[in-house]
């Protein structure tokens, strides 16, 4: 093989190597963008799926037994609260975190209680309950299993469910 042929073969090899590297870089960048888009879509789907569990409580009338079941099921969930207002307790009791209901801070965690009973935060008294409190007939926070409650789901600015509010209907 002459020097000219060797130079041509070498140039062709270098050209092919550069072309393969360019193709690999382009494919990597495309795959990276596709992965980012897929992650964003997955996150959106995950939020929708977690919200669907609460659709049964969004603007519906539920029984007291459904309220106590919700307390047992969701009490202790991170950055989430259940607010139950009974006919005997106009302020209601909180189960889990106390969530802001003010327009400007809707859905923000106001208080992460470390104890149950009457707790004060920012000059406001909150009754922090347990599932046992909702079952105790002698308490104002007692949830009558046959009572009827209007339920509302409270979402924050990111459309994440933060609170379920149950208000007992007048009998």
Per-residue pLDDT of the chain (171 residues; tens, 9 = 90+): 688 888 889 999 999 999 999 999 988 888 888 888 888 888 778 777 777 888 889 899 999 999 999 988 888 788 888 889 988 888 888 888 887 776 556 656 666 665 566 666 665 667 777 767 777 888 888 888 999 999 999 888 878 888 899 999 986
At 133 the pLDDT is 73
Cβ neighbours of 81 (radius 10 Å): 27
Closest CA to 118 of 87, 149, 99, 92: 92
DSSP 121: E
């Amino acid at each position: 093989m002459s020097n000219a042929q060797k130079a041509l073969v070498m140039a062709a090899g270098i050209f092919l190597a550069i072309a393969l590297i360019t193709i690999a870089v382009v494919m990597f960048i495309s795959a990276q963008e596709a992965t980012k888009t897929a992650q964003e879509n997955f996150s959106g789907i995950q939020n929708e799926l977690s919200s669907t569990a609460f659709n049964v409580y969004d603007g519906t009338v539920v029984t007291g037994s459904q309220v106590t079941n919700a307390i047992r099921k969701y009490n202790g969930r991170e950055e989430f609260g259940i607010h139950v207002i009974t006919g005997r307790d106009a302020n209601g009791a909180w189960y889990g975190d106390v969530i802001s209901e003010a327009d400007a801070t809707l859905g923000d965690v106001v208080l992460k209680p470390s104890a149950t009973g009457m707790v004060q935060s920012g000059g406001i008294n909150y009754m922090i309950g347990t599932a046992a409190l909702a079952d105790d007939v002698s308490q104002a926070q007692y949830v009558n299993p046959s009572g009827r409650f209007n339920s509302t789901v409270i979402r924050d600015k990111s459309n994440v469910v933060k609170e379920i509010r149950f208000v007992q209907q007048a009998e």
